[in-house]
Amino acid sequence: MNKTIPVKRNDYIDVIFEDLTHDGAGVAKVEGYPLFVPNGLPGEKAKVKVIKANKGYGFGRLIELYEKSPDRVEIPEVELHKYGGCQLEHISYEGQLKYKENQVRQVLARIGKLEDVKVHPILGMDNPWHYRNKAQVPVGQKEGKLIAGFFKPRSHEIVDTDESLIQLSEINEAVQAVKEIASELGLSAYQEESHKGDLRHIMARYGKQTGELMVVIVTRTADIPQKNKLVEEIVARLPKVKSIVHNVNSKRTNVILGEKTKVLWGTEVIYDYIGDVKFAISALSFYQVNPVQTKVLYDKALEYAGLSGDESVIDAYCGIGTISLFLAQKAKKVFGVEVVAEAIEDAKRNAELNGITNAEFAAGEAEVVIPKWYKDGNTADVLVVDPPRKGCDETFLQTIIEMKPKKVVYVSCNPATLARDLRILEDGGYKTVEVQPVDMFPQTTHVEVVSVLIFKEKAGS
């Protein structure tokens, strides 16, 4: 017998929020029927409008708050700033940390059946604002002037934004300056519909420890109108700039960067440090956007690895070698694997930059390269994995189980796939010893987690 849906579209109803979803929406229940409402917080009483009523769940819009949560904070222009992906900025930072820590505990228990694993209190930031060292901002046109900012949710309409509260001030300043200069020089914005216009995106990167700034101009066209004047003005207005790069993306695509990149002025790379390790960052390099918390995360991964100097370590999904080079300071040998060939070249360059000779890097898929290494007799005492959001490939997880490294350190940007993969490793003979959430992206729903597993024979159980 089909259960009747207790609400319908355009209904106005009073609710009490009970929980938050993984993307930060409030959860209310009407006769057991879940309604997901952005901007609602647990414990709040509110009036909502039903926007959509599916068979098993619905969506609503917050109309009026009758009782506010003590975790709620008022942010100026909160709706405008939400376009930048800050789903939790209406929650106090203490409330955000509590939400993220609970999320990790819940998914470990629900998906991984790991109710008894020790989850440490989340490591947050002293200042959870203005932390991002990189911006990629779409450019549009309004009333004859260039605009740049964020897309409205579920649309390609750009909201002009002078400042992002989560970008470093140097990044905000760079984007604003380039937008103004390009507008003054008469550059046109790229139009998706007609596939015409010049300027598609403005990108800025900043080395927090070195004070070096890179500006990347992304255009549809191979030539930039008034190019020399544009460069001259950027150099004059941004004294910290060390590199100005032109990227050409002539395709009809939502991908930001194209394949052709040329240095217009200054150096090809800028530099930054995480701890004592120096990194060269190009326009195309992957580099963590929150260097302060990256050090916190990597210090914890290094602690969990427990290296004495005699160990052989494999770093799967190694990127430009960030974790690998941290590990190499304490390990006998580190082998890094990464599918992006350009990232491997960056990793080799970064090893050379730091005088690190006990790290080797190979390009390829971890699930292909590491099983081949294993068949060739190359094993590891410690295996470190830092996969994309989809988690580890199951074939790769089975290789880990066959290889039986004494220790697995799993760094994750998705608690749900982490929990799934930990369950597989547990069933294969590993024990999850402890889990440490780290808040890498304050004001957003994202949370990083580092966990350590020990092969049960080695754990003495």
Task: Give the number of residues written for the chain.
Answer: 461
The DSSP result for 385-402, as a single string, is E---TT---HHHHHHHHH
What residues are labeled active site?
413
Alpha carbon 138 to its chain centroid, in Å, reads 18
Pairing of strands 382-385, 158-160: unpaired
Measured CA to CA, the distance from residue 194 to residue 157 in angstroms comes to 15
Token digits for 116?
A: 């008894």
Measured CA to CA, the distance from residue 177 to residue 238 in angstroms comes to 8
CB atoms within 10 A of CB 103: 21
What's phi and psi for 97, nearest 5 deg?
-65, -40
The DSSP result for 204-241, as a single string, is EEEETTTTEEEEEEEESSSS-TTHHHHHHHHHHH-TTE
Q: Go through 355-369 and write b for each residue having 16 or more CB atoms within 10 A of its CB, e for each that does not.
A: ebeebebbbebbbeb
Measured CA to CA, the distance from residue 77 to residue 275 in angstroms comes to 36
What's phi and psi for 151, nearest 5 deg?
-80, 140
Token digits for 427?
A: 């069933």
Measured CA to CA, the distance from residue 346 to residue 366 in angstroms comes to 18
